[in-house]
Amino acid sequence: MTEATPPAQDLAGRSALVTGASRGIGLGVARHLLDRGASVTLTARKPGQLDEAVAELDEPDRVLAVAGNSGDAAARARAVDAAVERFGSLDVLVNNAATNPQYGPLMEADLGAVSKIFDVNVVAALGFVQEAHRAWMGEHGGAVVNMASVGGFRSSGVIGAYGASKAALIRLTEELAWELGPSIRVNAVAPALVKTRMAEALWSGQEDEIVARYPMRRLGTTGDVAALVGFLVSDAAAWITGETVRVDGGLLATGST
């Protein structure tokens, strides 16, 4: 299936920061924003993987990599400040970084793992918005997209803490949209299962069975998610804020999880 061609250079002159951007959805979003003319700062935990991502994007004048753990306040500030210093602004923030070290019944969950999930998936996202607001958006405006999940809408039975964290992120998106409007728009995207390395355990060896549950009869791609993010940060979405938009191949419409 071919992906839609993005509008030519409609994000030219804008600076974006994408967290968790060394691979998967984050890297796909970074590539899409670059294709539409934006300059992009990538941040993720592992410097080696970031270097590989920068080489793959092959746009040295418009790509900056800043290694750091999104759960670390100093690392968040460093990434935001570097983006503003290098590109002169920070117009777009995509909170994509996430973790999920808990799998199985919540009654057996390690609470340290649950705490880490909320710290990275929710608290760090708020921390990045605070830093972006301080450094640029509070005075100049901008657009934020938080990466939620269909798990934030319905129970899965196996990744409960992750789903609960994404539900919290959806609510956080609404609160921030109310607080930061009209100059800063805040929306969220809620993908279903996307074929990435992080999600591989959820589909590997059973893809045909899983795909049968989706009206679109396929799993998602990073391009599917990136195109929606690109729309939400663009001027075409100028009157959209506080929304969580599902990109799930119709999964939730079926009542399945």
Distances (CA, A) of 64 to 18, 49, 51, 256: 11, 13, 10, 40
Spot the catalytic one: 162, 168, 220, 227: 162
- Rounded CA-CA distance 196/203 in Å is 10
Tokens 């929304």 belong to 243
- In the residue annotation, 103 being an active-site residue is answered as no
Q: Residue 111 and residue 102: Cα distance in Å, rounded?
A: 9
Q: What angle do CA 111, 116, 117 make, to 5 degrees?
A: 95
Q: Which residues are catalytic?
A: 162
